Amino acid sequence: MPDEARPGGITSAPFVDEYLLYLLAAVSDRASAQFHARARKAGLRVPEWRVLACLTDEDGAMVTRLARLSLLEQSRLTRIIDQMAEKGLVLRRPDPEDARRVRVFLTPDGRALATRLVEDARRHEAGVLDLLPARDAAQLKPVLKALLARLDGEAQV
């Protein structure tokens, strides 16, 4: 790869390099890309891995809830569930208490794959955190958790 050719035409004060939303997206992007390469080898695309991971935590979640957890739009999730069901990873069951609802469950195969990938993800995560000084690494997740809670709790800013 050649050097990151920076043309003469640079403007002035940097913006994106210092912009929180950019930093979040960029870090998420790069770090995730590393792991997603592994998920791919297990035959999963990114959203499928997300769904699998979320079901690890909340097996039997209803579609709407799962969509929110998985950071996916509902109609998209519906189609992803279709595909995962075809692959034998998940299973739809109507909610006995509310016939509008559909609950999504891991199949044994799905659970086995999820377990394997979650272990892998934990290892990968450790590797990412190792890139930071211990003090920073220790604080990052708690701060993000707090921020997420606030963002979810807030009215739109």
Residue 72 engages DNA in binding (rule: CB under 7 A)? yes
Count the neighbouring beta carbons within 10 Å of the beta carbon of residue 113: 22
42 vs 128, which CB is nearer to a second copy? 128
Q: How far apart are the first and last CA of the chain?
A: 41
Residue 47 lies near DNA (rule: CB under 7 A)? yes
Question: Given the complex with a second copy, which of 60 and 92 has the nearer CB atom?
Answer: 60
Kindly state the smallest distance separating residue 104's Cβ from DNA, in Å: 8
Q: How many CB atoms neighbour CB 33 within 10 A?
A: 10
d(CA 98, CA 120): 36
Of 41, 100, 135, 150, the one binding DNA by CB under 7 A: 100
User: In this structure, what are the phi and psi dihedrals at residue 64, rounded to the nearest 5 degrees?
Assistant: -60, -45
Concatenating the DSSP letter of every residue in 127-149 gives HHHTTS-HHHHHHHHHHHHHHHH
Could you say which of 92, 107, 118, 137 contacts DNA (CB under 7 A)?
92
Task: Report if residue 99 touches DNA, rule: CB under 7 A.
Answer: yes
> What residues make contact with DNA under the rule CB under 7 A?
1-2, 5, 45-47, 62-65, 72-76, 78-81, 83, 92, 95, 98-103
